[in-house]
Amino acid sequence: MPNYSATTYTMAYNKTQAFNDLPNLPPYGIDLETAPILRHLAKASRHLGELNGLCTSLPDPQLLINTIVLQESKDSSAIENIVTTQDELYQAATEETTTSVAAKEVLSYREALYTGFNKMKAQKNLLLTNTMVEIVQTIKQNKAGIRNTPGTALKNAINGEVIYTPPCCEDVLREKLSALEGFINNPDSSSLDPLVKMALLHYQFEAIHPFSDGNGRTGRILNALYLVQQELLSQPILYLSSYIVKYKTEYYQLLRGVTENNNWHDWVMYILTALGETALLTTSKIRSMISLRDEYEQLMKTALGSSYSHELLQLMFTLPYLKIELLEKKGIAHRQTASTWLKKLVDANILIPEKKGRTTYFINYRLMAIIAPGSLNYYSKMLITNEWSEPAGIEYGKNIRILSSKGNYTVKVFSADGTSFEFPVLDERKAFEIPAEKISTVVRPMISLKSNLKEELQLEVLQY
């Protein structure tokens, strides 16, 4: 996280009183075209342009975008301490139902993003208060509207100290939202670059805090919709929350810095940095997904032969967790055919099976390694020689699967207390499996590998 230096401007503000004097945008007398801001703006614009160019070139962007949007939904919810595991989330996405409250809220966020996107398009590309209300209602799955009762205050979760008291009540909130609508939708409201304006409107919406709950998530959805409105993105896909999760403390400190010290400069720098880095990250993920999909298309044609299904390939990149019933429901295959296809894809090391209760999911694990690194605990491509590789830590109680185009290597699983197991692999061209129970006595396990040949070997190691 960069350190920013800027002049701050002290303003009259009492954190225990409703901030009904919250000024409308744009900020008065603040220079938001400083040399540091313009440098960050140029970088963010360039990376955003690359992302948009990639997305507009895709013949079927929605297929790949769905998984990116789901990860944004997960991280945006995590900022509000609504935490779900990747397993819970993708199982819920496959089942379209879940008992996990957190997973439900994440899926509702994704639905709200698309609801807002479609609403904006239906309203001549305008972002209006009724759009914001519909977004938060979709997130919360209720009919809540603008706050109409006093007493709302943001407090420190540990000591209960009031941090901020937003404006009150409904008439004041609607007046401020109306002014924000004008700033968003009227191009003559400010000559500032749209990315700088996005930083301003994000703060303003958070400061208005128009709803009893769901303000943060609604505000981050508005960011993505605003970039689409300004034709900077063709789809609302920016993975911005990944940066905010990483620098969450700074995010809240800088929001308060604007309110308490009128320090817009550092806030704008933070958002521009977040935009640039996450545009670069999102572009990298989508390119990796395209490359993997192309590779899988050829592998699946070999594995399935004349029964190859392009619809199955597409589904694998829309929902990384598959099951037999899903293929039936989508009309891709009857049960027996679906079972045969999925088993063949497991044998070809394209999918891995994982049993959860009475349901077996077939996981596109390499896609998961792209969109959510670490979600399957350990996945790595390794180049090994005839010397032991550097030890790598692995998670206790997980299966190990190793893929290699050529066999003749040895796997060693060991711990610092001297417990050790070696598994020689001779001419094994398929996946080599080490079940978790075989190494259950190894505490804090490590793994090392070496080739039994003079030549180097390329391996893929997965723990699940």
For position 393, what pLDDT does the model report? 79
CATH number of 35-284: 1.10.3290.10
As a whole number of angstroms, the distance between CA 358 and CA 340 comes to: 19
For position 6, what pLDDT does the model report? 40
- 463's CB contacts (< 8 A; 6+ apart) are 376, 377, 378, 379, 394, 395, 398, 399, 400, 401
For position 10, what pLDDT does the model report? 45
Task: Pick out the chain residues at pLDDT < 50.
Answer: 2-10
Exposure string over 278-295, b if 16+ CB within 10 A, otherwise e: bbbbbbebbeebeebbee
Which CATH fold would you assign to the domain 287-370? Arc Repressor Mutant, subunit A (1.10.10)
3-state secondary structure of 91: helix
Nearest to 250 by CA among 109, 79, 373, 34: 79
For position 8, what pLDDT does the model report? 41
Neighbours of 432 (CB within 10 A): 17
For position 462, what pLDDT does the model report? 81
The two structure tokens encoding residue 328: 């039936």
For position 12, what pLDDT does the model report? 63
**Structural domain boundaries of the chain?**
35-284, 287-370, 377-463
* Tokens 């793994």, located at residue: 447
Which CATH fold would you assign to the domain 377-463? Jelly Rolls (2.60.120)
Signed CA dihedral, 324, 327, 330, 332: sign only: negative
For position 294, what pLDDT does the model report? 93
Give the strands of the sheet with 420-425, arranged side by side: 392-393, 446-451, 409-414, 420-425
